[in-house]
Amino acid sequence: MSHYTRVKTKLSSKECLLKALEDMGFSAAKLRVSNTPQHLEGYQGDRREQTAEIVIPRYHVGGAANDIGFKLQEDGSWGAIISDYDRGNRSADHKSKYAKGCNGYSETWLKRLYQRYSYHKVKDSLSSQGFSIMEETEENGEIFINVDTTGYGG
C-alpha cells in the first residue's frame, strides 16, 4: 500500500531549532538561550519591546544589526522575530554553506532555517521509531531521504 502526505513545518522542537540554527552558523556559543523571554536589543544597545527565549545577539548578526529572536508561542511553536532592517541586512556575512547566497535574514534565510529544522526533525523522528536511513541526497536545493521499512513488512 502507498500513502502520500505533505506536512507543513512548524517549529515545535527547541532542540531541532537549535540544531538548525547551528547549521545556519549560530552554534550554542553564539546564542543566548533562556527559559524565560528576554528583551531583545536594538543596534544601539537599546532595549526593545519584543522578547524571546532564543536570541542571536546583534554582534553575531552582522553590521549595525538588531538582535534576532525566537519566541515560544502559545501553541508551543517558535516564532522568529527579525527586524525589517535585518531582513535586508547586507552586512550579514553568512559563512555556513546552508546560508550562502542569502541576502541578510530574508525570507530565503528563514526558509533555509525551516529546511534544516525539518531535516533534523525527520532524522530524530525516524531514529526514535527505530528506522535507519538508507540513502540521503540533495538535488536542486531539496533533500531526499530513503528509509528502510523492512521490519514493517515492506
Partner 1 sequence: MIKIRIDTEGNTHVEVNGVPGATCESLTAQLVAALGDTEEQRFTEEYEQELPDYVEAQNGEE
On whether the CB atoms of residues 83 and 63 are closer than 8 A, the answer is no
Nearer to partner 1, 59 or 79 (CB): 79
Which listed residue (27, 34, 91, 125) binds partner 1 by CB under 8 A?
A: 125
Does 95 bind partner 1 (CB under 8 A)? Our answer is: no
Q: Which three cell numbers stand for residue 7?
A: 506536512
Nearer to partner 1, 66 or 119 (CB): 119
Q: CB under 8 A: which stretch of 51-59, 64-72, 78-86, 121-129 binds partner 1?
A: 121-129
Does 74 bind partner 1 (CB under 8 A)? Our answer is: no
Q: CB under 8 A: which stretch of 25-33, 58-66, 92-100, 127-135 binds partner 1?
A: 127-135
The alpha carbon dihedral of 74, 77, 81, 87 has a sign of negative
Q: CB under 8 A: which stretch of 26-34, 66-74, 86-94, 143-151 binds partner 1?
A: 143-151
On whether the CB atoms of residues 119 and 136 are closer than 8 A, the answer is no
Nearer to partner 1, 45 or 151 (CB): 151
On whether the CB atoms of residues 97 and 112 are closer than 8 A, the answer is no
Which helix or strand (DSSP H or E) is residue 113 part of? helix 107-128
CB atoms < 10 A from the CB of 120, how many? 18
Please state the closest distance from residue 121 (CB atom) to partner 1, in A: 6
On whether the CB atoms of residues 102 and 109 are closer than 8 A, the answer is yes
Looking at residue 125, its amino acid is: S
**Residues forming the site for partner 1 (CB under 8 A):** 1-10, 12, 111-119, 121-122, 124-126, 128-129, 131, 134, 140-149, 152-154
